[in-house]
């Protein structure tokens, strides 16, 4: 999968004008996007501030058909926000351990990698 990191960084640097996840995916158009469940939830915040609850976006991701593809996209792009039901901190830990999306999801399922921020 080819990711235009420059384009992502421009979009992510938007501050208060930052696009929603649905808008970001609509702009980037990764192949798996057509099945992204977050497109059906434009009011859910997938870019919570530190300490902000992440129950809502994680609940959307938990039942998403393309969770693994989305998570790999975020790992490859080292993106901020909730992607594939994981936080940036969880993905950074996974990257340090050399885990790909499937391995990280397996760890989460097994309870090896816990949720590390406000639930």
105 binds ligand SF4 (CB under 6 A): no
91 binds ligand SF4 (CB under 6 A): no
Distance in Å, CB of 71 to ligand SF4, minimum: 7
Residue showing tokens 């999968």 = 1
Cβ atoms of residues 35 and 66 within 8 Å: yes
In the set 8, 75, 79, 84, which binds ligand SF4 (CB under 6 A)? 84
* Distance of alpha carbon 63 from alpha carbon 57, whole angstroms: 11
- DSSP class of residue 83? B
83 binds ligand SF4 (CB under 6 A): yes
For residues 70 and 108, which CB has a smaller minimum distance to ligand SF4 in the complex?
A: 70
Structure tokens at 26: 């609509």
108 binds ligand SF4 (CB under 6 A): no
Residue showing tokens 């649905």 = 22
In the set 21, 24, 79, 101, which binds ligand SF4 (CB under 6 A)? 21
Helix pair 67-77, 55-62: axis angle to 10 deg? 120
Cβ atoms of residues 116 and 54 within 8 Å: no
In the set 24, 47, 48, 70, which binds ligand SF4 (CB under 6 A)? 70
61 binds ligand SF4 (CB under 6 A): yes
Binding positions for ligand SF4, rule: CB under 6 A:
21, 36-38, 46, 60-61, 64, 66-67, 70, 83-85
């Amino acid at each position: 999968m080819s990711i235009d990191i420059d384009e992502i960084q421009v979009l992510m640097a938007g501050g208060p004008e930052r696009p929603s996840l649905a808008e970001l995916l609509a702009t980037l158009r990764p192949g798996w996007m057509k099945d992204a469940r977050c497109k059906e939830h434009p009011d859910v915040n997938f870019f919570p501030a530190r300490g902000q609850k992440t129950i809502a976006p994680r609940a959307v991701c938990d039942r998403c058909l393309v969770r693994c593809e989305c998570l790999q996209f975020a790992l490859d792009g080292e993106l901020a926000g909730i992607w594939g039901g994981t936080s940036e901190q969880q993905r950074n830990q996974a990257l340090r351990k050399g885990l790909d999306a499937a391995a990280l999801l397996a760890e989460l399922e097994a309870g090896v990698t816990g949720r590390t921020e406000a639930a």
